[in-house]
């Protein structure tokens, strides 16, 4: 799984970097030719795209390194750090777009040849949709937080390019302030996306538990297993592609240790079949000590 994960995530990061570099060159020409502030907004966003995608590429490769003596749980948290760094990059670009939009709203500047901007924006829109489609497929296969953050970024680019097309069309008919208004709207949306991305990254770094649906699946697997009378103290988190799952099983007091170990091994394999690549730790408790043990399940 880790090899497939690494291959797909690396390819997604490389594809994003190459696409962002290509779009940057196209947008530099379009901005120079038209003077559109919306295209300038897209140009700045492409600069951020390149920085973010390069950061992703480097961090993802680091996060795929196996565990070592100093990082016994692996390097998966590097993905969350990459997502947090991306949110900072994106917030900076959103602030720049907002300030530029205000300036052009106060002193609107007519565009040269809006038709060129329309063609360039259409090319950027198609290329970005192709990239987002590929990234969505990779996220579905890997659940990579870094690729998901990159995908959310490029999804905002799709909306940005659509807004730019509308702004260029309105400018064609002399509504020059529309260009600045759309730049403001794009900046606000990008800032919102960045804050949401940063929140998710911080939650991962703080070891937020797995989603309720996944924890409920773990509970259902464990409590339905023959020889298990109950369970408690389910603790979960995720680092990169790896889920960490800890749980206490409740068993009969007179169950032989070897048999209790065998049941725990079977439960572990059942969890791994549902969540491949997970790190599962199971502790066996006799039923008589359960009232003194930890927290029982609150999920239904």
Residue 45 in marked binding region: yes
Least confident of 11-15, 165-169, 233-237: 165-169
Q: For residue 170, give its domain range.
A: 2-205
Nearest 5°: the CA angle 184, 119, 12 is 75
- CATH number assigned to the domain comprising residue 46: 1.20.1510.10
Same domain, 44 and 167: yes
CATH number at residue 230: 3.30.70.1350
Q: Which of 185, 205, 225 is the last residue of a domain?
A: 205
Q: Are residues 23 and 139 in the same domain?
A: yes
Burial 232-267 (b: 16+ CB within 10 A, else e): bebbbbbbbbbbbbebbbbbeeebeeeebeebbeeb
Under 8 Å between Cβ of 93 and 59: no
Residue 220: inside a domain: yes
In the block, tokens 């990008």 appear at: 190
279 is in an annotated binding site: no
Q: What is the pTM of this model?
A: 0.65
pLDDT on residue 132: 92
Per the structure, the count of domains in the chain is: 2
Any domain includes 243: yes
**Strand-strand pairing, 242-251 and 230-239:** antiparallel
Q: Which of 205, 233, 266 is the last residue of a domain?
A: 205
Residues 174 and 260: their CA atoms lie apart, in Å, by: 78
Residues 170 and 219 in one domain: no
Residues 191-221: pLDDT tens digits? 887 888 888 888 888 888 898 999 999 999 9
Residues 148 and 228 in one domain: no
pLDDT in tens, 86-104: 788 778 777 877 887 787 7
In terms of domains, do 19 and 120 share one?
Answer: yes
Please report which helix (H) or strand (E) contains residue 251, including its range.
Answer: strand 242-251
Q: Which residue has the tokens 């409920």?
A: 216
Q: Are β-strands 242-251 and 279-286 bridged in parallel, bridged antiparallel, or unpaired?
A: parallel
- 191 and 275 share one domain: no
Choose one of 153, 174, 205: the last residue of a domain.
205
Based on the fold, state whether residues 130 and 231 are members of the same structural domain. no
């Amino acid at each position: 799984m880790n090899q497939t994960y690494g291959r797909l995530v690396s390819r997604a990061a490389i594809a994003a970097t190459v696409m962002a570099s290509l779009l940057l060159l196209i947008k530099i020409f379009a901005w120079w030719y038209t003077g559109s502030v919306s295209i300038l907004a897209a140009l700045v966003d492409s600069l951020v795209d390149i920085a973010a995608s390069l950061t992703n590429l480097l961090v993802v490769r680091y996060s795929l390194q196996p565990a070592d003596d100093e990082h016994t749980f692996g390097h998966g948290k590097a993905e969350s750090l990459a997502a947090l760094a991306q949110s900072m990059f994106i917030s900076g670009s959103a602030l720049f777009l907002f300030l530029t939009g205000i300036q052009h709203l106060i002193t609107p500047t007519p565009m040269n040849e809006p038709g060129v901007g329309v063609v360039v924006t259409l090319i950027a829109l198609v290329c970005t949709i192709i990239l987002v489609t590929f990234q969505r497929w990779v996220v579905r296969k890997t659940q990579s937080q870094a690729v998901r953050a990159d995908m959310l970024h490029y999804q905002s680019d799709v909306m940005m390019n659509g807004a730019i097309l509308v702004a260029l069309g309105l400018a064609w008919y002399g509504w020059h302030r529309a260009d600045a208004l759309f730049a403001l709207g794009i900046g606000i949306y990008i800032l919102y996306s960045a804050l949401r991305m940063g929140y998710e990254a911080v939650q991962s770094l703080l070891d937020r538990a797995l989603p309720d649906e996944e924890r409920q699946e773990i509970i259902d697997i464990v409590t339905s297993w023959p020889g298990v009378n109950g369970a408690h103290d389910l603790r979960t988190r995720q680092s990169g592609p790896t889920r960490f799952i800890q749980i206490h099983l409740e068993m009969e007091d007179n169950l032989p240790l070897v048999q209790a170990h065998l049941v725990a091994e079977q439960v572990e394999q059942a969890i791994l079949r549902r969540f491949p690549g997970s790190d599962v730790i199971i502790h066996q408790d006799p039923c008589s000590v359960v009232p003194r043990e930890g927290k029982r399940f609150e999920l239904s």
